[in-house]
Structure 1
């Protein structure tokens, strides 16, 4: 049978999978919610702005949780809240009700991101080969499953209520069944005091990298369906999301081997080039196949940025792993939720095609930022 480390890896993979399913379920049905509530691009941008605001509010809570408990405890509670808030988004509330659901959804997602990445560092220490990239690959597989299920629901005209209910019930069953196998006693006894203030230069640089990665990734998640529907005039608007997730999954499942063969610094530059090229292709040629190819290039480009940066974050000596994940996770969560409303506001003023150039600019930042990170590592030995 499976050894204890293998069981811990399987259980954590299940939580990564579920997180991917839930997020892609939400993101792939944003065009549906936009139609239900008759939202303009500016209205949708305003609605999505709730998410980064909520993530910032959740900073003290998440910092306290990762310092106070083993990471599996907040992971369990946040996963349940994540699922229930997802389900509540399918209720035909007023806009105020949707706002409340998004607040809970965003805070829960922030806590999950910190907890699962903290767990991944602890599980990695029990294996000789690199496995962190595979966890992020499983998240992307969850994203594919989520968008595939969304596509089926759309094709058979299943209401968003029943769609989200199915996902919630499945998620709760998976959450409870996998919880006993999660790694225990991973709370650090040193470096656990979370203080708001200026972090080290190294952590700041890593934070900026995941911030821009999150702007690109989060914005693509939330707006690629709208782009396919309104710019390309594609009725089944989930195709772009599906291809994006497939490319991200392929890349993340191979990123551990790519890191060993090419090194992280070259992969950061390659990721930057792919993001820029993919966005330019999709915006200059707004037709189905060029857009799909462009979105796929963005998926390949952005996919390795998270696992590589989290591996680098685990090398920090100033804080415990949990606190480093909380600090880096703050940048990540704010970027993930800030990207979509920025696109909404720019789309309202300049059109959606021109707004997508933001992703290319975000991708460009990885060349100078990664150079500064590796220059710093060379100096400290």
Structure 2
């Protein structure tokens, strides 16, 4: 029987991650005002956050050799619930840094573990589910942005109340590991893993996060400085992007099942490139907003399909798949760093030039999509149908 309760629990974990993350990032101006931080200082804190999230993902990979992702996810959510109030209620700059560091580690753990759970649930169902699960992250992010708007008049410390959400979600019924070692044994790295095709899929993930982070970090500034949008409307670079991404991700399960991952990725890459072209050439802020909205639709399913493909290529017992997913998650942070830096450097003279960089790079997904076909073939699924075949265990059941 499909694990419907575990699917709902995993969806809640994805939504919680998006809720807390966007709630914090939309409060960055308040944090900067409270501590009188310069843009350089804020950038440094964000760098610390990303680096420690990567460390958390590495830690998740090591822990996955001995413990299942349900345990790892609960630990990450509880760590997030502790770090959040420390961060927003900090009485000194040093405590703020500690809070950000703790949240970064928790973010890496939760990021890796939610995708481990998503892959396990998807394989148990035997059909695409990760696009809609990632859509729950987007939904949580939209709720986080709405929460910030609704509580804009409240002190920064009010955000600490959100800590109750990860505590509650930590108690949800996640899918336990039923296959593979439960105790000491050979680490997943000791088993041969086909890293070359996994890395090729990882390149696709880097491309996505480069585009995604460029839009998030530089989109509002583009609207304000390049196409003269009113200051109160610069968030329109992000909000419609998230809405379009949510719609496509929620429909993504059916799209992939009907047309296959390869076709969906190639069409999405072309749409994204066209969308960025609209942004680059936009004569008005309204046209630029339309471009960012179309961009959200084009890149929506790249990340979830990348995790699915990496897990299928890894094959084998669940412990190894979990470790591979955790390591694969590090492409996320590499892409985020590259996207922010490359767009900023290339756009030092004009952000139109800066956004021309991801406009070209996103087309790399057209040839890279072949790797997703190989992943489907290796799992016994049809590349055209996009159906994910569950891996048989020794007893013949799905892992």
| TM-score category, normalised to shorter length | 0.7 to 0.9
Q: Tell me the secondary structure at the aligned position of residue 67 of structure 1.
A: coil
**Number of the residue aligned with 1:63:** 61
CA contact (8 A) 1:72 1:184 kept: yes
Q: Hey, what does 2:200 align to over in structure 1?
A: 205
Q: Secondary structure at the match of 1:68?
A: coil
Unaligned runs of 5+ in 1: none
1:172 to 156, 167, 172: 167
Q: Aligned in 2, Cα 1:138/1:378: closer, same or farther, shift over 3 Å?
A: closer
Q: Is the 8 A contact 1:248 1:303 kept in 2?
A: yes
Larger Cα Rg: Structure 1 or Structure 2? Answer: 2
Q: How does 1:5-16 map to 2 (within 5 A)?
A: 5-16=3-14
Residue 224 of structure 1 corresponds to which residue in structure 2?
A: 219
Q: CA–CA distance in 2 between the matches of 1:228 and 1:325?
A: 36
Rounded to whole Å, the distance in 1 between the matches of 2:35 and 2:276 is 29
Q: Is the 8 A contact 1:272 1:363 kept in 2?
A: yes
Deviates more, 1:6-15 or 1:197-206: 197-206
Instruction: Answer whether contact 2:55 2:108 (CA < 8 A) is retained.
Output: no
Q: 1:161 aligns with which of 157, 172, 178?
A: 157
Q: Give the deviation of 1:317 after TM superposition.
A: 4.0
Gaps of 5+ in 2: 381-399
**1: distance between equivalents of 2:342 and 2:99?**
21
For 1:42 and 1:365, how far apart are their aligned partners in 2?
Answer: 32
* Range with bigger deviation, 231-240 or 338-347: 338-347
Q: Residue in 2 aligned with 1:252? A: 249
| Structure 1 residue 265 corresponds to structure 2 residue 257 | no
Give TM-score, length-normalised by structure 2.
0.81
Per-residue deviation at 1:55? 3.6
Given that 1:137 and 1:249 are in contact with CA atoms closer than 8 Å, whether structure 2 keeps it comes out as yes
What's the CA shift for 1:31?
A: 4.2
Residues 207, 327 of structure 1: 8 Å contact kept = no
Partner of 2:330: 330
Distance 2:142 2:211 in 1: 18
Inter-partner Cα distance in structure 1 for 2:37 and 2:223: 17
Q: Is the 8 A contact 2:131 2:304 kept in 1?
A: yes
In the other structure, the counterpart of 2:293 is: 296
1:83-94 aligned within 5 A: 83-91=81-89
Aligned residues: 372
- 2:292 is the alignment partner of 1:281: no
How do 1:1-381 residues align onto structure 2 when only pairs under 5 Å count? 5-34=3-32, 42-91=40-89, 97-154=95-152, 157-162=153-158, 164-176=159-171, 178=172, 181-186=173-178, 188-189=180-181, 192-194=187-189, 200-229=195-224, 231=226, 232-285=229-282, 287-317=284-314, 320-344=320-344, 349-374=348-373
1:372: Cα distance to partner? 5.0
RMSD: 3.2
Structure 1 counterpart of 2:395: none
Q: Does the 8 A contact of 2:112 with 2:326 survive in 1?
A: yes
Show the counterpart of 2:396: none
Change (3 A) 1:171 1:380: closer
**CA gap 1:234/1:34 in 2 versus in 1, 3 angstroms:** same
Residues in 2 aligned to 1:227 and 1:197: alpha-carbon distance in whole angstroms: 46
Q: Deviations over 1:125-167 (max 9, x none)?
A: 332443222211111111111112122233xx233321x2232
TM-score w.r.t. structure 1 length? 0.84
8 Å CA contact 2:54–2:108 kept in 1: the answer is no
Cross-structure match for 2:392: none
